[in-house]
Amino acid sequence: KAGVTQTPRYLIKTRGQQVTLSCSPISGHRSVSWYQQTPGQGLQFLFEYFSETQRNKGNFPGRFSGRQFSNSRSEMNVSTLELGDSALYLCASSSGLGPGAFFGQGTRLTVV
């Protein structure tokens, strides 16, 4: 059974640009959550999608958005990148029927 797949693994972007990250959950899982990990703030919840609907959202600005497709794959978009957006972005996959999730390897985003 394949795990959670995130692409790309590494990204370098310039301030002001936008970026899209992708996550394919474990087969059969309908929930995808996104987390941002930085040395200063640690792991912070961004949002959760379940059956193509955003079900929960963390305390991040509107520049951070996402969507989920009918096959449960999810994308996260960050517009007008700032230096502070440099982080490891982790995708978590679950059935969506309870707490806990399986994480992908993450996408390391560097904003220069």
Partner 1 sequence: AQSVTQPDIHITVSEGASLELRCNYSYGATPYLFWYVQSPGQGLQLLLKYFSGDTLVQGIKGFEAEFKRSQSSFNLRKPSVHWSDAAEYFCAVGSYSGAGSYQLTFGKGTKLSVIP
Site of interaction with partner 1 (CB under 8 A): 4, 6, 33, 35, 42-43, 45, 48, 50, 55-56, 58, 90, 92, 96-106, 108
Smaller CB distance to partner 1: residue 44 or 79?
44
14 closest CA partner among 93, 99, 80, 97: 80
What's the CA gap between 53 and 49, in Å, rounded?
5
Bond before 99 cis per omega within 30 degrees? no
Smaller CB distance to partner 1: residue 8 or 16?
8
Please state the closest distance from residue 34 (CB atom) to partner 1, in A: 11
What's the CA gap between 36 and 103, in Å, rounded?
12
Please state the closest distance from residue 90 (CB atom) to partner 1, in A: 6
Please state the closest distance from residue 24 (CB atom) to partner 1, in A: 13
* Token pair belonging to 7: 């692409």
